[in-house]
Structure 1
Amino acid sequence: MATEHKITATSRTDEGKGASRRLRHAGQVPAIIYGGGAEPQSIQLEHEKTWLASQNEWFYSSILSLDVDGKAEQVLLRDMQRHPYRQQIMHLDFQRVRAGEKIRVSVPLHFLNEDASPAGKAADVVVSHEHNEVEVSCLPKDLPEYLEVDLGELSLGDTVHLSEIKLPAGVEIPELKLGKEHDVAIVVARHGRVEEEPAAEEGELDADVPATKVSDDDEDTGDSAAAEGEEGTGEDK
Structure 2
Amino acid sequence: MAKTHELSVALRKDEGKGASRRLRRAGSVPAIVYGGGKLDPVSIQLAHKDVFLASQNEWFYSAILDLNLGGDVQKVLLRDMQRHPFKAQILHLDFLRINENEEIRVRVPLHFLNQETSPAGKAAGVIIMHEVTEVEVACLPKDLPEYIEVDLAGLKIDDIIHLSQLNLPAGVQIPELKLGKEHDIAVVSAKLGREEVDGGAAEGEAGGAAAAGDKKEEAGDGDK
TM range (shorter): 0.7 to 0.9
Residue 11 of structure 1: how far off its partner (Å): 0.5
RMSD of aligned Cα (Å): 1.4
**What corresponds to 2:127 in structure 1?**
126
State the SS of the aligned residue for 2:121. Answer: helix
Name the structure 2 match of 1:45. Answer: 46
Match of 1:7 in 2: 7
Residues 58-88 of structure 1: CA deviation (Å, up to 9, x unaligned): 1001000111232100000000000111110
List runs of 5+ in structure 1 lacking aligned partners.
200-237
Q: Which residue of 2 aligns with 1:222?
A: none
What is the match of residue 114 of structure 1?
115
Percent identical across equivalent pairs?
Answer: 64
Deviation of 1:170 (Å): 0.8
Aligned counterparts, 1:78-157, within 5 A? 78-157=79-158
Task: Please tell me whether residue 24 in structure 1 is matched to residue 30 in structure 2.
Answer: no
Q: How far apart, CA to CA, are the structure 2 residues paired with 1:19 and 1:181?
A: 49
Q: In the comparison of the two structures, how many residue pairs are matched? A: 198
For 1:58 and 1:179, locate their aligned partners in 2 and report how far apart those are by CA, in whole Å.
Answer: 30
Specify the SS of the correspondent of 2:157.
coil
Counterpart CA distance in 2 for 1:11 and 1:58 is 24
Q: Distance in 2 between matches of 1:154 and 1:169?
A: 24
**Native 8 Å contact 2:3 2:64 kept in 1:** no
TM-fit CA distance, 1:122 = 1.2
* Contact in 2 for aligned 1:107/1:146 (Cα 8 Å): yes
Distance 1:171 1:18 in 2: 43
Matches within 5 A, 1:182-201: 182-193=183-194, 194=197
State whether residues 119 and 154 of structure 1, in contact with CA within 8 Å, keep that contact through their aligned partners in structure 2.
yes
The 2-side partners of 1:8 and 1:51 are apart by: 13
Give the deviation of 1:185 after TM superposition.
0.3
Match of 2:57 in 1: 56
Q: Distance in 2 between matches of 1:64 and 1:123?
A: 44
* 8 A contact 1:11–1:69 mirrored in 2: no
Residues in 2 aligned to 1:164 and 1:130: alpha-carbon distance in whole angstroms: 14
Give me the whole-angstrom Cα distance separating, in 2, the residues matched to 1:168 and 1:2. Answer: 11
Q: Match of 1:233?
A: none
Summarize deviations over 1:145-197 as a string: whole Å, max 9, x none.
1001110011110100000001111110000000000000010101114486x
Tell me, in whole angstroms, the C-alpha distance in 2 between the residues paired with 1:20 and 1:185.
44
Letter in 1 for 2:177: L
Shift of the alpha carbon at 1:13?
1.2
- 2:33 counterpart of 1:33: yes
Higher-Rg member (1/2): 1
